[in-house]
Structure 1
Amino acid sequence: MVDVVDFDAAERRIWAGRAEAFRDSFAKLCAHTAPALLDVVGAGPGVRLLDVGTGIGTVAAAACARGAAVTAVDAEDSMIELARRNAPAADIRQAVLPDLPFAAAGFDAVVANFVVNHVGRPADAVAAMRRVTRPGGRVAATIWCSPAGAGHELLDRAVEAAGAHRPAGLPRLDPLEEFPRTREGFAELFAAAGLTDVTCEPISWDHLADPEEWWGGAAAGVGLIGQTISRQDPDTLKRVKAAYDDLAREYAGPDGRLRLRYHALLAGGRAV
């Protein structure tokens, strides 16, 4: 059995100090779902909104632009620093799911953009989001489904072609905490947390990225695939990069940019 505390600690180590690398690469991918996420909870003027796992503050800034009164939290110091720059109107604090330091029913809406993927206790995380939402308020979250998208497929193929191996010590979710990354599975996670009127819809889009920009996030160790790549020995890393450069041509459009098809799930529910 995997220790879920170790999972969370490993996730914190993965993201430590990587806010700028995330901003310059994968944050642009994650930003796509922000408008739909805020639509689900009705973010608008005067709505008291909590953005959980705000990262560099993309969703928080978008909610502020809609006139919401925004509080945001993240576990990582470097993310908080960038989030405060990107969303200066938001109240941004440090906190870790599921330990949200807020009174019950304190918010009209709570959102989490690609955060439930990164916690050791997903069910407890959604329950914590529901706890701080007032009766009648809305909770919404996005997760990657399987397969997530072509960008990670490209990086995985490069790792395989180079004969690289997954390094030891990467987080693995306790099977007892796992849930199906399907519409039904994610919706059930929301329902089990005590939310009603639960919906879950797929979202697909084409993400455009410069090949070196996309490689830069992985080479800097952002996310699990980034850890797999960045922790290789120098010779293996050179082989992975060479394989990446070769394979990237399959994903490039006429302008040279990668056209990466991605898939996610967006779930929402009402607190009672």
Structure 2
Amino acid sequence: MTAHPPINDDAFKQFERNGFSRVAEEYDRAIAQVTSQVNEAILDAVETGYNSRLLDVACGTGWLSTAAVKRGAIVTGLDYTENMIAIARWRCPEAEFQVGDAENLPFDSGEFEAIVCNFGILHFPDPERAIAESLRVLKSGGRYAFTCWTPPTRNPFMALILGAVQTHGIIEVDLPPAPPLFRFGDAEECKKVLSTSGFISVSVSELPIKWTFSTPQDVMPTIVASSARLGSILTMQTPEQRHNIENEIIEGAKKYATDNGIEIPASAILVVSSKP
């Protein structure tokens, strides 16, 4: 197994907070629309319905919370980026949003009937601690679900972006070390971590997602403008590296041209479990 550099929790969290604060509006217009494609699946997984108390961890700009409110749920959203929370409050005034840390949830034990975390698990320096906190604030019999990207071998979009960087640039740029991006894209790893944390009835499935762009030339600028870490990796290349990376992404994106523009497939892991 490849060794990963030690993670400085404070440095990682500060980078994430600063990065997503910077890109919040573009994230809302781009990536949040992509990840919202699995909203109904994750809400179905935790049986979200009328008057169910749901916590949306790493809620971002509130797309999943909004979908839960439409089902009649009583929703609390939490994110550690104030700019994200501001957009979420604007999008969904019916929910309660607050700034907070997934690894130290500001809630009482057993407060929620369901907890969801849509593509947030990869943004926690200590995901086991975040999972343990979700277990704590979930009531007995409550359901917990999260999503995460699958690795490039099963994810053409990630293969295109990261493959271009690996071919023409450097992945390991000068950023605070982060947890492995695709750790939770592995079903057995998800089952092991959740079972060890105390969850039961762990199930894992895979969901299709589609990234859409008007033209192949839009792919890289969109990622740069809307992503904290991946965008930083792209911008921190030399001018020549960045030029070559962008050209490869453009050429690769052309293969996914449709009558509606560029549609690049991707996929996500959906992990569902219960508290005893």
- Paired residue for 1:61? 66
Gaps (5+ residues) in structure 2?
none
Aligned in 2, Cα 1:47/1:18: closer, same or farther, shift over 3 Å? Answer: same
- Residues 122-151 of structure 1 show CA distances to partners (whole Å, capped at 9, x for unaligned) of 111111111101111111111112126222
- Residues 174-195 of structure 1 show CA distances to partners (whole Å, capped at 9, x for unaligned) of 8xxx956311211222212211
Query: For the Cα contact (< 8 Å) 1:183–1:202, is it kept in 2?
Result: no
Aligned in 2, Cα 1:170/1:210: closer, same or farther, shift over 3 Å? Answer: farther
- Paired residue for 1:204? 208
Check if 1:9 corresponds to 2:14.
yes
Query: For the Cα contact (< 8 Å) 2:223–2:231, is it kept in 1?
Result: yes
Aligned in 2, Cα 1:91/1:271: closer, same or farther, shift over 3 Å? Answer: same
Give me the TM-score of the superposition, normalised by structure 2. Answer: 0.88
Aligned in 2, Cα 1:230/1:24: closer, same or farther, shift over 3 Å? Answer: farther
Give the total of aligned pairs: 267
Q: Secondary structure at the match of 1:7?
A: helix
Check if 1:115 corresponds to 2:115.
no
- RMSD of aligned Cα (Å): 2.2
Which of 138, 145, 156 is residue 150 of structure 1 equivalent to?
Answer: 156
**AA in 1 matched with 2:37:** H
Task: Note the 1:84-103 alignment, pairs <5 A.
Answer: 84-103=89-108
- Paired residue for 1:269? 273
Task: Note the 1:23-172 alignment, pairs <5 A.
Answer: 23-147=28-152, 149-160=155-166, 163-166=168-171, 167-172=173-178
Taking the aligned partners of 1:112 and 1:180, their CA distance within structure 2 comes to 13
Taking the aligned partners of 1:159 and 1:182, their CA distance within structure 2 comes to 23
Gaps (5+ residues) in structure 1?
none
**AA in 1 matched with 2:118:** N
- Residues 80-100 of structure 1 show CA distances to partners (whole Å, capped at 9, x for unaligned) of 111111111000000112111
Check if 1:193 corresponds to 2:197.
yes
Query: For the Cα contact (< 8 Å) 2:24–2:226, is it kept in 1?
Result: no
% identical equivalent positions: 26
Q: Which moves more between the two structures, 212-221 or 9-18?
A: 212-221
